[in-house]
Structure 1
């Protein structure tokens, strides 16, 4: 099942096991069970501390449990955890075998202190880059706390179950049989939903922090670059982010970051975190900015009010809040969000195997999504507002070669249709004839660009008609001492490499601003 290179790596990892781990499989005569049996045999062969049994009685077949030998297992994988989830399997083995996780001690204590019975089920797909974070967090919680159990379920393999439970997006998490949440979540985010006092404790801790020379708001490529460049100047640097990594976490393939021929979003973000972590940057993750209170005069402090009520103070600010997927804004879209309306074809595509879907948008993202989906679904209808597709020619040629794709141009989607529970069609208007047409389908993937996350800045500084932060050639905004970088600004071309350069430029500009402040003003602020 595993190639020789992967077996060798696995053997090295499993040398970290401190005590035996039991794998208990529930199998039948199916081909998938045979694949799982081969995978588990390869794992057992890699370490004498792995004990494999095939006497499992789980109703989901194929599946297997992971647990310390002699203890009741609390981690289950239903399906074959390959692709993005192979790492989740390896971590589950290590953690069940006593290898300490790379998690802050206070977070571990918080998990152990949860005083209730929690049974989690997570539906994932093997192509979903957002799912491993959720699976790994819940697996670790199950290892640490005997009152927590987690089953990770491959939605592409258990299609009947997905249909019955109306799962139409991954990752989808159920808690004690009821919906808990959807989308990427970190361990800290999950704990925040379970531990109701966590937000107040966070706010008190953050509010007690001192004054930053530079405070970066945003943790994407722009924010990370700004933090590194500022910290290298030896000044007091903080970084507050709603989600470290931002939109890049939802990016599958990155092939145009110079010197890196290919990588994937989560791996790229891991590199950003490691690089920022090499410097004296006070990183405050999972902290959403709610309001900017600019300094009244040069040398005064700027304030960022967070959603939890805490206030951060800084001599200079670098705003890099990034952007989010643009929505169509038509009737039915919000009602059927995650019930047929999706925004990540890599994540949710496998749930629509053999079904009919539409892709909205004819740029690179839309055409790439249509190409990917065409290999999974029965039929793809691509709908583009313009009179022609806007994607690169090579992508258009590939799309045109696919037999199960229909391309409709000069079309405006006007409504998402559904049966009350899930999507069953859409309506579009032909812009040439004004005629309305209905397309019957089961899924809609929206790929029409990005919207800057700047609503919280309205009234505090100059924004463009599109809501972008207006910046000059130095990254300076209309507010003295406040700089901005990345996709949320008026800088043209929303690219990772451009955002990173913007962040570095903004940090250098902020430092230049600081050293030119009058000495008496700087001393007054420090006091």
Structure 2
């Protein structure tokens, strides 16, 4: 099951176990049970502190639980936690033994204060780079709330249940059998979802903060770089963001960031956060800005932000780096069937459509790359492009056209997502040249049609272009005194990680220069 390199790596990690643990397998007569038995046996052979048992009574079979010796298991894996979930397995082994998680004391106390007795399930695919964060978060909640349990379920292991429960997007999260969320969620987001008083606590905590020198809105590459550059100047710096990492966390492979040959979005985002935290930047996650008031309009002479939860923050300067999000088709049926056949992440949700027919809407690099990836999983892929020709790089087009199970339709206007009330059954489109209507019979639709800047909350407050981008000059200044902007949310062309990072540095240096020249350096 595990090759020698992985065994050696795992053996090294198991040396950090704080106390004896048990792996308790619940098996049946299936071949999948044999695989789980083999995995559990191999792990137990790597450490004297790990014992394997095969008398588990978990109703979900095959599966295995991890328990501190003498206690009941609360963390379960229904499937083989390999691929992206191998890290989830390692952390679960260590943390169940008592190994301290690498989270702040504040967040750990929030987990303990939940004081809940709930059973959580999360359906995953092993190719999903968003799933491990949810699995690891739920495991921590179960470990520190003795009446709770958390189960990772590999959709490929339980395909019949996936079909029955109509799970067409991962991660898909259930609490006591009730669906409570899907898609990428951080530990803080899940805690906030479970703690009904979280918003009020957050508002009180934020209102008590002193004014910042530089306050960054957004935690993607532009925001993270801006915060790091500011903090290195020795000035009071904060980041307020809906989620640290931004769109990078939804990106699979990154191969064009100089000096980094290849990495993955979540790994890159985690490294950014570690770098920023090294400089003791005050990171305020899960916060959404509602209004902004310029320094020359506020009574305090500072830039003021009001958050969605009612809290107010002030700063000598603000850098807007709110990034962008996937553009939606905005056609009938899209919202109704979102996560029920309409998807935006082929890497995460593609395995759920194994052996089925799907469409990819969008003929740029993202769309063609998605179609290529999906072609290796599904029965057939139809790429639907609005323009008269594909816009992707020629090397990608050549690869796509070489695949036997791919069709390409150009000059096509998608008009409606079709479904049977519970899941997608097709896509309607109009031939833009003949005006004829056509229908594709499909199980899934992957939307890859570009980005929209996250700037709606700034309308009427900050000057925006006709595309909704923040208008900036060569010093990243906006039309509001003390407010700068950087990254994908601005009019700067070419939306790339490395460009966003560079613009974040420029904006931060401009903000520092503004502070000095305006007499705010005290």
Q: Structure 1 length normalisation: TM-score?
A: 0.97
Greater shift in the superposed pair: 38-47 or 498-507 = 38-47
> Distance between the aligned counterparts of 1:71 and 1:60, measured in 2?
19
1:310-362 Cα distance to aligned partner (Å, 9 max, x none): 11101111000011110000000011111110000000011111111000000
Equivalences for residues 126-525 of structure 1 within 5 A: 126-296=126-296, 300-517=301-518, 519=519, 522=520
- How far did 1:189 drift? 1.2
8 Å CA contact 1:294–1:460 kept in 2: the answer is: no
Contact 2:25 2:63 in 1 (8 A): yes
Q: Structure 1: how far apart are the matches of 2:466 and 2:390?
A: 25
CA contact (8 A) 2:361 2:383 kept: yes
Q: How far is 1:300 from its partner?
A: 1.8
Q: Is the 8 A contact 1:61 1:79 kept in 2?
A: no
Measured against aligned partners, the alpha-carbon deviations of 1:194-219 in whole angstroms (never above 9, x if no partner) come to 11112111111111111111110000
CA distance in 2, matches of 1:9, 1:40: 16
> What does residue 114 of structure 1 align with?
114
Q: 1:8-87 residue pairs with structure 2 within 5 A?
A: 8-87=8-87
Moved over 4 A (4+): none
Distance 2:261 2:62 in 1: 37
Q: 1:408 & 1:252 partners in 2: Cα distance?
A: 26
Q: Does structure 1 retain, via aligned residues, the 8 Å contact 2:360–2:384?
A: yes
Structure 1 window deviating more from structure 2 (24-33 vs 414-423): it is: 24-33
The more displaced of 492-501 and 63-72 is 63-72
1: CA distance, partners of 2:346 / 2:60: 26
- What is the deviation of 1:109? 2.5
Residue by residue over 1:144-176, the C-alpha shift from the partner in whole angstroms, topping out at 9 and shown as x without a partner, is: 111111111001221110111111110010111
Q: Distance in 1 between matches of 2:494 and 2:62?
A: 47
Q: Deviations over 1:100-124 (max 9, x none)?
A: 1112223223222324421111000
Q: Is the 8 A contact 2:389 2:411 kept in 1?
A: yes
CA shift, 1:297, in A, is 5.8
* More deviation, 1-10/312-321: 1-10
C-alpha separation in 2, matches of 1:112 and 1:508 = 41
Q: CA deviation at 1:225?
A: 0.2
Separation in 2 of the partners of 1:397 and 1:472? 39
Give the Cα separation in 1 of the matches to 2:374 and 2:11: 36
Q: CA deviation at 1:294?
A: 1.5
Instruction: Supply the distance in 2 between the matched residues of 1:464 and 1:457 (Cα, whole angstroms).
Output: 12
Residue 183 of structure 1 deviates from its aligned partner by 1.1
How far is 1:434 from its partner? 0.5
Q: Tell me, in whole angstroms, the C-alpha distance in 1 between the residues paired with 2:236 and 2:110.
A: 29
Residues 436-483 of structure 1 show CA distances to partners (whole Å, capped at 9, x for unaligned) of: 000001100000011000000001111000100011111111112211
> Aligned equivalents of 1:327 and 1:403: distance in 2?
28
3-state secondary structure, aligned to 1:487? coil
TM-superposed CA distance for 1:289, in Å, is 1.1
* 1-structure distance, mates of 2:156, 2:363: 27
User: 2:365, 2:396 within 8 Å by CA — same for their partners in 1?
Assistant: yes
Name whichever of 112-121 and 323-332 sits farther off.
Answer: 112-121
Aligned-partner Cα distance in 1 for 2:391–2:37: 47
* Most deviating of 421-430 and 19-28: 19-28
Unaligned runs of 5+ in 2: none
- The answer on whether the counterparts of 2:116 and 2:145 sit within 8 Å (CA) in structure 1 is no
Aligned to 2:114, what secondary structure does the other structure show?
Answer: coil
Deviation at 1:37, TM superposition (A): 2.3
CA distance in 1, matches of 2:70, 2:44: 17
CA contact (8 A) 1:475 1:509 kept: yes
Which 5+ residue runs of structure 1 have no aligned equivalent? none
Greater shift after overlay, 36-45 or 448-457?
36-45
